[in-house]
Structure 1
Amino acid sequence: MVVQIDYHCNDEIIEWKWSSDSKLMTTPFFTSCYLVDGLLIDSGAPGGVNDLREFVNSLNPDNMIEKCFITHAHEDHAGGANLLSREFGIPIYAGEKAIELLKLGNSYPDYRQMAWGPKLLPVDATTTEELIFTKSKKYKFEFFPMNGHAPELIALIEREQQWAFVADAVQPKYKMIFGGHSDIQEDISLIYHSLGELYEFTEGMDNLLIFSAGNGVFHGRKTLLERRNEIKVLHLKIHEMLRELPTNILTEKLIVRKLLREIHGKESFIGQMTRGALSRKNLIRSLLKWAVKN
């Protein structure tokens, strides 16, 4: 397994990163959880529980975890919650939508098991008010729903410090999304609108830091506008290309294939490996379903 620990904001934030060391993965594919004054944001993947245990046991009393907040119920974020609750007695918090999913646990396809471990164990979580405080009450986080990647996803915003912990709600690029036969169904239009809503919510935060899951820290609200603009340009391009196709004689499958060929040439390796669960075609389908306003 591959573990990295990064420090941010004068060591006020500890980022614990984990990746499988499977030989089938050519480079590490990280997920992150963040420790801020006793508040752990997310809990890593099921395959990383032994490494997470070592991390928790290594913490000095000042950094000891008081509570854990799960942003959403995907296995690479909730995978250590059962361990934290069962072995360390750490209370688990989540939004109302995530609580029911966390109770169920989850099994998932082989390609995700390769990356994140075999199974998401169930855990009991509780909800809290629209604010969550850290151990010393030094930091106060607001809840901010960000639909698109997962309906239950909640980002945590520390307004005074200008921090946003967004999990998977903000990506470096949007080249493919989950869909098809997957239990994860991403919607690019909802992602687009969530990015805009976060931009508005963080008005006045000129030094905003956006902490992502495994993709580093994005600097500035401009990141949100850049991602939105990239999506908008691709959205318009897809629909312009669609107008040039004889849609009356083409099936949806052929339309998607032609658009894929024009934009990317072919499906990605990940799209092939996941049998279309995470693919460029899913992104094209989602863009096609999203009507262009005149």
Structure 2
Amino acid sequence: MRQLAPGVRLLDGRPRHLMNVYLVEDVLVDSGTPRAAGRIIRQVRGNPLSAHVVTHAHPDHFGSSRAVCEEFGVPLWAGAKDVEAIETATPAVAPGRIAAALSKTPMPPPCRVTRQLSEGDEVAGFTVLEVPGHSPGHIALWRESDGVLFCGDVFLALLRIGAPPNFLTWDAELNRASMRRLAALRPRLVLFGHGKPLRGEPDRLARLIR
């Protein structure tokens, strides 16, 4: 694991930064696909773990959640409007034929959510922000004291930083509003669901959506 900020570590991935999983104090944030379960469990074992948070109900973010929760006996927390999708393993589908085809692929095992997160809740020293669009109940985590932001998939940073593809996004216009909201925070460290961290450029996100 690599330290990114006080209390914030990035787990090793294969390949690195493709699907990011973080340990924030004693809370695991996201869990990649089902294939990541063994790697996540090996890295987390030996560290105190009190809970697991999922930023949104897509299979590359809650894929190993049930395995992690069962292995460590911890509860799963998620945005209130994504709870049903995680508990039934039926994510909200974006419009269009591509999204409809993707929705027919095998899904990760469902996992019971024991805490529904809403705007203003606290998780490991971070404030929960409701930022819907990519999924109905997408959340971000924000620590104002040092400007650290977990943005999930509101922004992607794989080839370049920008919006997630429309065919993977439940409501692209609503996600655009969430992008503007997060950019207005002027974060000093942005941690993405996919892609390398963005550090020391507080106006970068805002410039991208003008």
Tell me, yes or no, if the aligned pair for 1:106 and 1:120 is still in contact at 8 Å.
no
Question: What SS class does the counterpart of residue 116 from structure 2 fall into?
Answer: coil
Q: Give the fraction of aligned pairs with identical amino acids, expressed as a percent.
A: 22
Shift of 1:46: 0.9
| Larger proportion of helix | 1
Alpha-carbon separation, structure 1, partners of 2:142 and 2:129? 7
Larger Rg over CA atoms: 1
Larger RCO of the pair (alpha carbons < 8 Å, separation 6+): 2
Partner of residue 268, structure 1: none
- Looking at structure 2, the residues matched to 73 and 128 of structure 1 have their Cα atoms a distance apart, in angstroms, of 13
Q: Does 1:209 align with 2:189?
A: yes
TM-score normalized by the length of structure 2: 0.80
- Which residue pairs with 1:35 in the alignment? 23
Count of matched residue pairs? 196
Give how far 1:48 is off: 1.0
Q: 1:15 to 1:29 in 2, by over 3 A?
A: closer
Aligned to 2:10: 15
* Structure 2: runs of 5 or more not aligned: 92-99
- What's the RMSD between the two structures over aligned residues? 2.8
1:114-147 deviations in Å (ceiling 9; x for gaps): xxxx53111111224632242xxxxx21111222
Residues 123-162 of structure 1: pairs in structure 2 closer than 5 A: 123-125=111-113, 126-128=115-117, 130-134=120-124, 140-162=125-147
Greater shift, 79-88 or 122-131, is seen at 122-131
Quote how far apart the aligned CAs of 1:67 are: 0.8
Mapping of residues 188-207 of structure 1, within 5 Å: 188-200=172-184, 202=185
**In the alignment, which residue of structure 1 is the partner of 2:203?**
222
Amino acid at match of 1:14: R
Q: For 1:73-92, what aligned pairs fall within 5 Å after superposition?
A: 73-92=57-76
Displacement over 4 Å in runs of 4+ = 106-110
One-letter amino acid matched to 1:15: L
Would the aligned equivalents of 2:86 and 2:112 in 1 still touch at CA under 8 Å? yes
- Matched to 1:228, the amino acid is I
Return 5+ residue gaps in structure 1 as ranges: 21-27, 135-139, 230-294
